[in-house]
């Protein structure tokens, strides 16, 4: 009997055809991610038109725990500002940032493209068009997540079909170009709706630029179940994302059903993106900036990339929201403008670094 043949290992991101190292999520990265979320959260709660001492803010948050009561030094008005205005906004930013970063990482794994992002694939535009239609036609706001999800799925389906039109020889760039074309088409539909419903123009325009200012506990309660479901599904498929990096044929040889895994992951990521878009509007580039930064820090394995993207995505968007509402105070910059200011140069840097993979 000859020597046993070695099963092919994952490859695609490593050197010399070697696959991504299956990186264990070290406690240091957990602590770093949680610390980033805590610092961004306290900063988001403490700074604004009514500045609050960070220590007092942290004390009031601890007071929310059952059985805990400490003196923070804040008066009744400051406590109301903290708990009724800033806390729901910061929590909403946490959920939206975590969701968009996780969806971006999942899309990049599914499509094996470092530039894949809910916005470049047309997912956000599809969700945006559907949500805009609900607003313009005075539909119930409770329909926003379902409508956005339907639009997101339709958009990603159309992008995939157009990108796959070249058959087996299609390049990753074809998918991105198809996504850009689909997004442009859907955004044209949005513009048409806005022109036809000028009375709702201000609300729609504000929503398109991204917003957390009007976020409240009702938005948090609506978004939270979608975030939990999406996170559970995607995190449970983290091994499949690592295996998909080797290519479909080799992944099938390793016992994976590539198309079924892709369908589950795309549906979950689209659901989470649509829910986030329905409450926050269009906030771009989070799905590109955060996963790539995490890969630079912790390696390419999705066992580390997915959970860390959620943590750092949450921290990133909370800080972006802080900049948006303090940079030109008392006025407020749309948060989508802030993420674009960071994201556009970052996207160019990623494009130059990964041009062989992307194109």
Rounded CA-CA distance 306/283 in Å is 19
Instruction: Look at residue 357 and tell me whether its pLDDT is greater than 60.
Output: no
What are the tokens at 332?
A: 């407020």
Q: What pLDDT does residue 13 have?
A: 44
* Confidence label for 151 from pLDDT (cuts 50, 70 and 90): confident
Instruction: Look at residue 22 and tell me whether its pLDDT is greater than 70.
Output: no
* Confidence label for 15 from pLDDT (cuts 50, 70 and 90): very low
What radius of gyration, in Å, describes the C-alpha atoms of the chain? Answer: 21
The answer to whether 337 touches 282, Cβ cutoff 8 Å, is no
How many C-alpha atoms does 7 have within 13 Å on its Cβ side?
10
Instruction: Look at residue 102 and tell me whether its pLDDT is greater than 90.
Output: yes
* Confidence label for 6 from pLDDT (cuts 50, 70 and 90): very low
What are the tokens at 188?
A: 């044209």
Instruction: Look at residue 3 and tell me whether its pLDDT is greater than 60.
Output: no
Q: What's the chain's average pLDDT?
A: 81
Measured CA angle at 43 (ends 42, 45), to 5 deg: 65
* Confidence label for 10 from pLDDT (cuts 50, 70 and 90): very low
Instruction: Look at residue 9 and tell me whether its pLDDT is greater than 60.
Output: no
What are the tokens at 221?
A: 């309660």
The answer to whether 336 touches 118, Cβ cutoff 8 Å, is no
Q: Each residue of 225-274: pLDDT tens digit?
A: 999 999 999 999 998 898 888 777 777 787 788 888 888 998 899 888 88
Rounded CA-CA distance 214/310 in Å is 23
Q: Each residue of 128-149: pLDDT tens digit?
A: 888 888 878 877 767 776 787 7
The answer to whether 190 touches 129, Cβ cutoff 8 Å, is yes
Instruction: Look at residue 101 and tell me whether its pLDDT is greater than 80.
Output: yes
Q: Each residue of 195-212: pLDDT tens digit?
A: 777 776 666 766 666 677
Q: How remote is the C-alpha of 5 from its chain's centroid?
A: 41
Q: What pLDDT does residue 274 have?
A: 81
Q: What pLDDT does residue 25 have?
A: 61
How many C-alpha atoms does 111 have within 13 Å on its Cβ side?
33
Percent of the chain at pLDDT exceeding 90: 23
Least confident of 88-97, 153-162, 193-202: 193-202
Q: Each residue of 316-350: pLDDT tens digit?
A: 999 999 999 888 877 888 888 888 888 878 877 77
Q: What is the mean pLDDT of residues 31-36?
A: 93
Peptide bond into 330 cis (omega under 30): yes
């Amino acid at each position: 009997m000859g020597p046993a043949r070695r099963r092919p290992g994952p490859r695609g991101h490593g050197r010399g055809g070697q696959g991504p190292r299956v990186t264990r999520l070290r406690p240091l990265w957990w602590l770093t991610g949680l610390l980033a979320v805590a610092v961004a959260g306290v900063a988001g709660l403490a700074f604004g038109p009514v500045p609050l001492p960070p220590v007092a803010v942290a004390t009031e948050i601890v007071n929310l725990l059952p059985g805990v009561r400490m003196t923070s030094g804040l008066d009744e008005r400051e406590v109301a500002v903290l708990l009724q205005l800033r806390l729901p906004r910061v929590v909403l930013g946490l959920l939206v940032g975590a969701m968009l970063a996780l969806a971006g990482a999942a899309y990049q794994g599914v499509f094996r493209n470092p530039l894949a992002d809910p916005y470049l694939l047309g997912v956000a535009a599809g969700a945006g068009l559907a949500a805009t239609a609900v607003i313009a036609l005075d539909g119930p706001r409770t329909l926003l997540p379902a409508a956005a999800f339907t639009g997101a799925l339709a958009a990603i389906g159309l992008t995939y079909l157009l990108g796959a039109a070249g058959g087996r020889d299609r390049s990753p760039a074809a998918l991105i170009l198809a996504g850009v074309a689909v997004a442009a088409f859907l955004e044209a539909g949005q513009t048409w709706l806005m022109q036809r419903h000028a009375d709702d123009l201000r609300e729609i325009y504000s929503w398109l630029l991204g917003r957390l200012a009007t976020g409240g506990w009702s938005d948090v309660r609506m978004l939270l179940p979608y975030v939990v479901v999406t996170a559970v599904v995607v995190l449970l498929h983290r091994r499949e994302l690592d295996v998909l990096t080797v290519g479909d044929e080799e992944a099938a040889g390793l016992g994976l059903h590539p198309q079924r895994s892709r369908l589950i992951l795309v549906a979950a990521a689209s659901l989470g993106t649509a829910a986030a878009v329905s409450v926050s509007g269009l906030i771009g580039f989070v799905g590109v900036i955060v996963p790539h930064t995490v890969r630079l820090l912790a390696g390419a394995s999705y066992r580390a990339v997915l959970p860390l993207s959620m943590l750092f995505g949450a921290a990133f968007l909370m800080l972006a929201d802080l900049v948006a509402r303090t940079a030109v105070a008392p006025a407020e910059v749309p948060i989508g403008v802030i993420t674009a200011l960071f994201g556009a140069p970052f996207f160019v840097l990623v494009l130059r670094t990964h041009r062989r993979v992307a194109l």
